[in-house]
Structure 1
Amino acid sequence: MSGMRETFAKIALMTSGAVQFIKNYSATVDFWKRSGKDVEYETRDVSIAYTQALDDLMEQYRRREDRGVQVDAFRVLEDLDLDGLARARGAGPNWTKKCLDGTRTEILAEIINWIYDTNEDVPRILWLHGQAGKGKSAIVHTIALWFKKVGGVGSCFCFARDWQAEHLEEKIFRTVACDLAECDPAFRRALADALATDDSLKTTSDVALQWRKLILEPLCKVSGNMVGNVVVVVDALDESGPGRSRRHLLSVLASVQAADLPSNVRILVTSRPLPDIEHALSTAPHVRAASLDDVPAVSEERDIRLYIMRRLGPLRDIGATEVYGIAQKAEGLFEWARLACEFVNPGRTVKNESAKERFNNIMRFRSGGELLDVMYRAILEDTIHGDEIMLTRFRSIMQQIISTLEPLHMDALNKMRSHFPAEEDHCDMTTILESMAPLLSGVTDRSSPVRPLHASFYDFLIDPARSQTYFVGESNMYNLAFASLRILSNDLRFNICGLESSYFSNSEVTDLEERIKENISPHLSYSCRFWAQHLERTAFDLALGGLVKGVLGREKLLFWLEALSLLGLLGNATDALRCTLTWLPWF
């Protein structure tokens, strides 16, 4: 995606930044004065920076080369009041998901051409859909990261099934608005004006109101002051939750208002073609639909072959014939190709099996619609080896992972397990998960939470027809409710962060984040936030009732409220206590 068009875009965006700096110089000077900065020095510094960057870009254009000039390095964003604008966590782009260089070039070029199309009638929304494993997320993450690299004004919002407790669908447009405000000063001022008029916009869950007041109206207001395109990526819309959770979002995307977006705005959406999404988007005149299922097989096979060659090329027993065989077997499913590479070369010693023998195993798998499921079962068989004890532990561990309302790191998951009621559940999950790195993040890289790498693995685990022996069932909240309440009972204490005075507000404690990190462990933080949601989804049980009474009927209640306040989530207490109302008659 390199070339003169990117250089032109960078020059335009840098010029726009310089113009905005000059246009708003008076407000910027006021900001610097309030910040105690030397106005003359700051003015000279920013001016020199813009001049040098533009000179570098022009030289880059003349020499037809790309030196990666950062076009957003010198933007000055005033201290406009955006505090309290609640945005979603864990919804941004992920560079590990981007396409391998040299692959998916045709579809990427098609999307870029759509972004830069100057026709007034170009559809503002592109819906990219296809079956699971086709590489939808890789494509849009590549677009989002590329657009960010060239300095474009944009946002990337990714839905994920294991973040549903965040109610991402209620925070999408607040988060997008924050992202755009961080990229463009003009949009930031328009957004600040909207929030100054109605402070409730910072926390409203009304998706249509967010869209109109935080996105549509600010964009229309500043469209004449923005150079270049605005690109918003919405990935995995089908993972937002049940159909009812995205009903209002789909209504917004299909609305006439979306058709009236400024001509430089583009919204790129991905999902599987679920009925409600297809019904809403396929008939809207301002939505262009593109199916990855329609990509020519020869193009998919070429890209998959290149990917496999990069992954397996160094292996002694794997040559061009084997690479070609795997690419054909993949039938256009990039996720299957990834799993096949992990299976052939698992990165660990496999007893009595060479890479060639493992290649022969996968070539015996039957083809067809169950291709991913067959690969999942093969990897799990390689992990569990038919051992009944291992299988029982696997089911318990995966039940915990898919039932958590927010992804947790392995250490926190193990700490939670140690409080499960059944002694046999107190096993170290590392013994099971260490061989499941092809399927889960957070196994080899302990800095990441443990979560399925692909949404189809969730579906596999909870569908007995697909997972067969490895079926783990739907979410089971009892163990997590039990563990959360025990952790609250054991770990909560008075003045948990050791504050010098209870009269200080959180904002007055300069090292509050460090104190929280040191004193409120991840598993305690999770328990404080989610115990009531787990409890609400659990049938009444005397043991649980005793734990609830032990927390709510004593001073632990006050300690819990203090912890929520320190975490900035005191507002959640009302809903949590409401969840326990059905339990009160039993006390």
Structure 2
Amino acid sequence: MSQRDDSIPDLNSPEFTRIIASIDSAVWDGAQVLLTVLKESADAFPPLKSAVGGFLAILDLYKTTHADTDAINDTAFRLNRLMRILAERLRDKEKASMFMDDIYVRHVNLSAALHRLVEMKKKNWFFRAAQSVRIAQEIQTICNRVAESIEELQLKIGISVEKDTKAILQEAILQNLSRARSAAYTASMPPDGVARRSCAKDTRVNIVESIISWARADWSARDEVPPIYWISGLAGQGKTTIAYTICERLQKEAKEVSMISFFCSRQLDSHEGRLLVPTLAFRLAERSASYASALLNNLKSAHDLGDQRLEVQISGLLLEPWQKSAHLRAGLLEHPIVIVVDAPDENDAGTEFIRQISLACRQKKLPGLRILITSRPHPTIEKLWSHPENERAVYRLNDVSRAMIHDEILTYMREELHEYREEDYQYLEHLARIADGLFIHASTALRLLMPLGRRLAKVEQTNRLKAIIKRCTAESSGSSNGILDDLYADVMAEAFKKLDREEENVRSRILVLLLCSSEAIHPDFVTIMERVDADLVQLVIDALYAVMYIGREGQVLWHHASFQEYILAKYKFMVKPMQVHIVRRCWEEFTHHLPEKRLLSTLGWGVHPLMLTEATIQQFHVDDIIRRCQILIRGFRSFDLV
């Protein structure tokens, strides 16, 4: 074989082809593949072309000395494995060439080490290694340096290609995958609503640091670090705020960790069970090209995967493509991808999602992923975490000492009311005791003290705070739910004060109509259903500013799910009659504009609404009816038909 002075062989010569063919593939199959790739792609990777002479020197070294030391055999095995991986990384010339700058930078160390081996070969040092300990040690050191350089190079190429998902995400079939718009922890919230926020300084420190450490633990510690973590807490204990803080910290401080978030809310599109898995799948595809490619193949085989039941979605959109592409990520993930799912119990498919994902994690079907879930301690979910493997990754907010929570709530309120008079802090202390561990109690009370659009003088805030404390103390039922209910009762009393019985009844009906469905309702819908003025509906919403607000798209939302639960329990006797009323009023309203048969088909009703009773209301999907009716209303309004 002809060689230049710098020992770079002519890669296009027949002689080089014969050299590749003569390599002992039983020992050096990786080297054989790598040299073949370099022969075919020399023009694409000029820096590596100069390394060919060094790779051949390694083969000559092994041939000359392999019988002499176990160390040489071990090093040869490692080098061959790394050469095979590097060859796989370089096969896709188009992608690998995108990172040529990185190849140039990381080739420097590799080239220097290989050049030293070539020089040793020229001086016949390989033959003298057996007689000289010094030469043998130097050869071993250089071979280790070559191995480390190859490993660094193939990892950089592999990681860069793995993270380069832009092209594949442009595929229409992936873009058409249905996704929740409001699921990300950073999702835009309505200006009148309470934006998601992180924990107040010096609060929730233990739980947050514990989760951050769990999320950032090296992939090498996977056997000691559980793949799934559960934060359990009652309504109002601050689960969402903790989840937000963890997402924010990972985003800002842990650049090495990829993070995906899905925050569920009964009022937003993130409550829809059909969107949970497709949204997570798309976000995961944004972070892993190997997974995105496997996901795309699955979707090409079954276009309707995103519309299937949860079990089929989890299998086809998550488990199968993640497992099929696992070998392409081998050795690339120093840190796992972290998925944060907040309040899945507010998602239609949330509880079943937790069950199936928990099972998949226990069966090690999602290697490289770590999943954080926050939810209420529903018995079904509690049972899942009774499994020994899951129990070591549970944080129950209800087990945190009341003294610690009291101090943290007080810290939070002082931060929010930073201009509050020092002499009035005793009232905040009292309110923190009444809150009894519920952050939502404290935040709702603060909204009463700081009404939107109004500025209260300090003395007015103090007087209002005293009134809240007095009523809550007088009415306290002692339980956590009761304490929160007492505050909601206070909010209701403030909103409905000085009303006669008839006025209160009308407003109560408006409130129940707004809250009797998980479908967010527009005030215009209420005016049509109840035949009341829009001003009256707005008055009800404004009076309940501490617990309700108007969203960006004009629908009525509430700050916390516990308020909806409180109202539906308080007015339980009105809920089914209201749902029957809604269905019948929709029918009355729309039969003026559409033929009966077409209307039944459009609204998806199997039973005629005039036959509907409170006993048969369960046959109707009221949430879906309200959604369809609101769409029809918007359509009719655009033609001035309503």
The TM-score with structure 1 as length reference comes to 0.65
CA contact 1:390–1:432 (8 Å) conserved in 2: no
Q: How does 1:157-306 map to 2 (within 5 A)?
A: 157-162=262-267, 168-205=272-309, 207-220=310-323, 221-222=325-326, 223-224=329-330, 225-241=332-348, 248-255=352-359, 258-283=362-387, 285-286=389-390, 288-306=393-411
C-alpha separation in 2, matches of 1:401 and 1:291: 33
2:234 corresponds to 1:131? yes
SS in 2 for 1:128: strand
Offset of 1:473 from its aligned partner? Answer: 3.5
Kindly provide the CA deviation profile for residues 254-279 of structure 1, in whole angstroms up to 9, marking residues without a partner as x.
Answer: 32554404553111111111111111
| Unpaired segments ≥5 residues, structure 2 | 1-87, 106-161, 188-194, 614-630, 637-642
SS at match of 1:97: coil
> SS at the partner of 1:326?
helix
Per the alignment, residue 98 of structure 1 pairs with: 197
Q: Alpha carbons of 1:27 and 1:200: their partners in 2 closer, same or farther (altered >3 Å)? A: farther
One-letter amino acid of the structure 1 residue matched with residue 377 of structure 2? P
Q: What SS does structure 2 have at the residue aligned with 1:254?
A: helix
> Aligned residue for 1:416?
525
Give the one of 240, 243, 250 matched to 1:147: 250
The answer on whether the counterparts of 1:308 and 1:323 sit within 8 Å (CA) in structure 2 is yes
Is the Cα contact below 8 Å between 2:200 and 2:411 reproduced in 1? Answer: no
Higher radius of gyration, 1 or 2: 2
Query: For 1:317-345, what per-residue CA distance to the aligned partner results, in whole angstroms no more than 9, with x for missing partners?
Result: 86332332222322111001101212233
Q: Residue 413 of structure 2 corresponds to which residue in structure 1? A: 308
Residue number among 528, 536, 545 corresponding to 1:437 in the alignment: 545
Residue 207 of structure 2 is aligned with which of 107, 111, 119?
A: 107
Per-residue CA distance 1:557-582 (angstroms, 9 max, x = gap):
xx98xx89xxxxxxxxxxxxxxxxxx
- Please tell me whether the aligned partners of residues 124 and 265 of structure 1 are also in contact (alpha carbons under 8 angstroms): yes
Q: Is the 8 A contact 2:524 2:534 kept in 1?
A: no
**Displacement of 1:177 after TM fit?**
0.2
Deviation, structure 1 residue 248: 3.8
Q: Is the 8 A contact 1:124 1:267 kept in 2?
A: yes
Pick closer, same or farther for the CA change 1:531–1:450 going to 2, 3 Å: farther
Give the distance between the partners of 2:260 and 2:383, measured in 1 at CA.
Answer: 25
Alignment match, 1:360: 466
Q: Which amino acid aligns with 2:496?
A: I
Q: Which residue of 1 aligns with 2:520?
A: 407
**Equivalent-residue separation in structure 2 for 1:253 and 1:541 (angstroms):** 39
Does residue 395 in structure 1 map to residue 508 in structure 2?
yes
* Structure 1 residues 328 and 92: CA distance shift in structure 2, 3 A: same
Q: Is 1:336 paired with 2:336?
A: no
Give the corresponding residue for 1:377: 489
Secondary structure of the structure 1 residue equivalent to 2:199: coil
Q: Is contact 1:99–1:142 with CA below 8 Å preserved after alignment? A: yes
Distance in 2 between residues matched to 1:424 and 1:418, nearest whole Å: 5
Shift in Å at residue 479 of structure 1? Answer: 4.2
Change (3 A) 1:321 1:86: same
The residue that corresponds to 1:451 in the other structure is: 557
- Residue identity opposite 1:311 in structure 2: E
How far 1:427 moved relative to its partner? 5.5
1:316-331 → structure 2 map (5 Å cutoff): 316=421, 319-331=424-436
Give me the whole-angstrom Cα distance separating, in 2, the residues matched to 1:448 and 1:144.
Answer: 28
Residues 238 and 284 of structure 1: is their aligned pair in 2 closer, same or farther, counting only changes over 3 Å? farther
Distance 1:423 1:194, change over 3 A: closer
1:77 equivalenced with 2:176 (yes/no): no
Q: What aligned pairs does 1:539-558 form with structure 2 within 5 A after superposition?
A: 540=611
Report if aligned partners of 1:140, 1:233 keep a CA contact under 8 Å in 2.
yes
1:26 paired to 2:134: no
Instruction: Give the Cα separation in 1 of the matches to 2:204 and 2:280.
Output: 26
How far has the Cα of 1:403 moved from its partner? 3.1
Q: Identify the residue that residue 132 of structure 2 maps to in structure 1.
A: none
TM-score when scaled to structure 2?
Answer: 0.60
Residues 130 and 292, structure 1, Cα contact 8 Å, conserved in 2: yes
Q: Could you report, residue by residue, the CA deviation over 1:444-471 in whole angstroms, capped at 9, with x for unpaired residues?
A: x65563222111111111113xx79xx8
Cα distance per residue 1:510-554 (max 9 Å; x no partner): xxxxxxxxxxxxxxxxx9999736886956269xxxxxxxxxxxx
Distance 1:480 1:530 in 2: 18
1:58 aligned partner: none
| Maintained 8 Å contact 2:274/2:306 | no
Which digits, 9 at most, give the CA deviation of each residue in 1:29-73, with x for residues without a partner?
9xxxxxxxxxxxxx69x979xx9xxxxxxxxxxxxxxxxxxxx99
Q: Report the AA paired with residue 373 of structure 1.
A: D
| CA distance 1:84–1:256, shift in 2 (3 Å) | closer
* RMSD (Å) for aligned C-alpha atoms: 4.2
Distance (whole Å) between structure 2 residues aligned to residue 313 and residue 210 of structure 1:
48
**Offset, 1:435:** 2.3
Is this contact kept in 2: 1:339–1:438, CA < 8 A? yes
Q: Is this contact kept in 2: 1:312–1:318, CA < 8 A?
A: no
Alpha-carbon offset, residue 24 of structure 1: 5.8
Q: Which amino acid aligns with 1:26?
A: E
In structure 1, distance between residues paired with 2:533 and 2:180: 33
The amino acid of 1:429's aligned partner reads: V
1:301/1:331 contact within 8 Å kept: yes
Alpha-carbon distance between aligned partners in 2 of 1:336 and 1:492, rounded to the nearest angstrom: 47
Q: How many residues align?
A: 444
For 1:134 and 1:376, the matched residues in 2 are separated by: 16
Bigger drift between 310-319 and 484-493 goes to 484-493
AA in 2 matched with 1:217: E
Whether 1:86 and 2:185 are equivalent positions in the alignment is no
Query: Does the residue aligned with 1:434 lie in a helix, a strand or coil?
Result: helix
The range that moved more, 135-144 or 184-193, is 184-193
* Between 290-299 and 141-150, the greater mean CA deviation after superposition: 141-150
Structure-2 separation of matches of 1:256 and 1:312: 46
1:162·1:404 contact (CA, 8 Å) conserved in 2?
no
Structure 2 distance, partners of 1:306, 1:432, is 33
CA 1:252–1:533 in structure 2 vs 1: closer, same or farther (change >3 Å)? Answer: same
Measure the CA separation in 2 of the matches of 1:463 and 1:172. Answer: 28
Residues 128 and 270, structure 1, Cα contact 8 Å, conserved in 2: yes
Post-superposition offset of 1:284: 5.5
Task: Compute the displacement of 1:308 (Å).
Answer: 0.7
- Post-superposition offset of 1:113: 0.9
> In the alignment, is residue 120 of structure 1 matched against residue 217 of structure 2?
no
Residue type of the alignment partner of 2:386: S
Q: Which moved more, 1:89-98 or 1:379-388?
A: 89-98
The separation in 2 between residues aligned to 1:93 and 1:529, in whole angstroms, is 39
Relative to structure 1, the CA distance from residue 237 to residue 202 in structure 2 (aligned partners, 3 Å threshold; closer, same or farther) is closer
